[in-house]
A = this chain, B = another copy of it.
């Protein structure tokens, strides 16, 4: 391929709306073009990258006995009604009607379609286990697409669904898939991806893992224990608090706290640490706007995922009206009257001598003992784990919080979908049972962007050989020089004949232009033919990541390049 003919524009200026580097570089390098909010077209270089990623995924899915199938993008609403998700999933599920007014949805995940495809096939226990997967376009009507390909509305995803007759069998397969994922990320050039325990969210099921590329620009927060290696998404990490209970419980006392609203103000006014305050955070259920008042220790934050899971319904931060009976800024558990769901975080269990709102404007209490004063006996885990917090696995106070991009996920779904959709098999004792499912996703475009995020410099992406749009970027500096042009042309021919993927830049532009374009295309091997090099009878072979730069005689160049391609192609896999 001649660079001169490559459709797409490359440019120097970082687009002002790009928050993360991969987004900026993939626009600047002519990889993709904005079409609509969260929707992009791909130019050839990105399409070549995603096709290679797809092929790596396909090979690894086939290696764990996956069968490639294809589900529709447009699905009848009836399938989602069967599972209950037509109602339960929010606006990210795009619903519409076709010309005959039939209700349809755009597939954002395909559990329903998978069960539909195999529910007659899987009637006998002897058919199990099996796994089917597809690599297909999906659409999720995200409220806030961002970060280029990191969070889009339309995306290509590999989604896999396994079916089992026992939890043990699912767990075995889940482990196989976990290992396949490690191989996929290693082969794609980001072996540093870690798996973390995660919340199953709208997917249902018990156990799930996310594969995270740790990077400060990630959207997700991950709790990692520096001592034992525990890793979990902040949404799911258990918060453990060892409370200090004072020997003597003071008396409950109403204190005038004029013009004081925030926890910080209250604590400083009362001269008490935040750990000794009982903070109120108020939500409303999306379904009926009813109020949920959650009390937790003043220094902690609410983990809304835990609260949502506990309530079994979606919530939003409350709008506190004058009529609702809550006194904004002065809400406390003592004598709180009204029709609210009141919940207590474990961080308050056993605590005494707390400050809290007085449920009266401009008044707080001190000396609160929840068990003594409010008869509270139920405490649950609703708080976010914190930096320096206690590890739920080893118990040491060694939690650090990192940011990460989720590049894949695996879920143990259980029988949620097979039960809802009436898929059963006959076991050896002629008993009807529901198969147990697992599901396994990888976003192709997001993986490409993540690799770029992990491997780039200020000049462009540094693609790993395994997924690079081309393997060799051949530059003919001064192509107006007949000797250089002939030599580069010959090398181009020879490399193509040997099966190398070459992008060839023989434009009559400055070496500076040439190299900045090459930097943006990020091809791992660069070969430079120039009149100056030719005087010594050599060309230059350099790595995009600057790990080497060597001069090789023209005669030996093709051999050397082919060897380098091979060496760089296969990263060490365990």
Which A residues form the contact surface with B (CB < 8 A)?
Answer: 5-9, 33, 35-37, 39-44, 46-48, 50-51, 65, 67-76, 79, 91-92, 94, 96-100, 102, 104, 106, 113, 116-118, 120-121, 127, 130, 132, 134, 136-137, 139, 141, 143, 153-154
What residues on B are CB-neighbors of A7 within 8 Å? 67, 69, 117-118, 121, 127, 130, 132
Evaluate whether A72 and B40 lie within 8 angstroms (CB atoms) in the complex, with A113-B35, A137-B136 already known.
yes
A121-B41 in contact (CB<8A): no
Which of B50, B98, B143 touches A141 (beta carbons < 8 Å)? B98
A113-B41 in contact (CB<8A): yes
Interface-central residue, A72, A96, A106, A121, by most chain B CB under 10 Å: A72
Report 10 cross-chain contacts, Cβ distance below 8 Å, ordered by A residue.
A5-B65, A7-B127, A7-B130, A36-B74, A43-B67, A43-B69, A47-B69, A50-B70, A73-B137, A98-B141
What residues on B are CB-neighbors of A69 within 8 Å? 7, 41-44, 47
Closest B residue by C-beta to A42:
B70
CA gap between A99 and B8 in the complex, in Å = 31
What residues on B are CB-neighbors of A46 within 8 Å? 70
CA gap between A127 and B74 in the complex, in Å = 37
CA gap between A134 and B42 in the complex, in Å = 10
What residues on B are CB-neighbors of A137 within 8 Å? 73, 136-137
Starting from the known contacts A37-B102, A73-B137, A74-B154, 7 additional A-B residue pairs (CB-CB under 8 Å) come to A7-B121, A35-B71, A36-B76, A39-B74, A44-B67, A72-B154, A73-B154
What residues on B are CB-neighbors of A36 within 8 Å? 72, 74-76, 102, 104
A76-B35 in contact (CB<8A): yes
How many copies make up the complex? Answer: 2
B116-A41 in contact (CB<8A): yes
Which of B99, B113, B153 touches A74 (beta carbons < 8 Å)? B153
What residues on B are CB-neighbors of A44 within 8 Å? 67-69, 132
What residues on B are CB-neighbors of A118 within 8 Å? 7
Closest B residue by C-beta to A2:
B65
Which of B39, B102, B117 touches A72 (beta carbons < 8 Å)? B39
Sorted nearest first, the 3 A-B pairs with minimum C-beta distance are: A96-B96, A36-B76, A42-B70
Which of B5, B9, B73, B94 touches A120 (beta carbons < 8 Å)? B9
Interface-central residue, A69, A100, A113, by most chain B CB under 10 Å: A69
Closest beta carbon of chain B to A153's beta carbon, Å = 7
Closest beta carbon of chain B to A426's beta carbon, Å = 15
What residues on B are CB-neighbors of A71 within 8 Å? 35, 41
Closest beta carbon of chain B to A72's beta carbon, Å = 5
A68-B41 in contact (CB<8A): no
Closest beta carbon of chain B to A83's beta carbon, Å = 14
Closest B residue by C-beta to A100:
B37
What residues on B are CB-neighbors of A94 within 8 Å? 96, 98-99
CA gap between A43 and B121 in the complex, in Å = 11
CA gap between A48 and B7 in the complex, in Å = 30
CA gap between A136 and B6 in the complex, in Å = 21
What residues on B are CB-neighbors of A113 within 8 Å? 35, 41
CA gap between A51 and B96 in the complex, in Å = 30
B5-A130 in contact (CB<8A): yes
What residues on B are CB-neighbors of A121 within 8 Å? 7-9
Which of B48, B98, B100 touches A68 (beta carbons < 8 Å)? B48
CA gap between A40 and B76 in the complex, in Å = 11
Evaluate whether A74 and B139 lie within 8 angstroms (CB atoms) in the complex, with A7-B69, A117-B43 already known.
yes
Closest B residue by C-beta to A139:
B74
CA gap between A33 and B76 in the complex, in Å = 14
CA gap between A46 and B132 in the complex, in Å = 13
Closest beta carbon of chain B to A111's beta carbon, Å = 13
Which of B33, B50, B141 touches A117 (beta carbons < 8 Å)? B33
CA gap between A132 and B72 in the complex, in Å = 25
Closest beta carbon of chain B to A175's beta carbon, Å = 20
B99-A67 in contact (CB<8A): no
Closest beta carbon of chain B to A109's beta carbon, Å = 15
CA gap between A241 and B72 in the complex, in Å = 48
What residues on B are CB-neighbors of A70 within 8 Å? 41-42, 46-47, 50
What residues on B are CB-neighbors of A153 within 8 Å? 74, 98
CA gap between A43 and B130 in the complex, in Å = 13
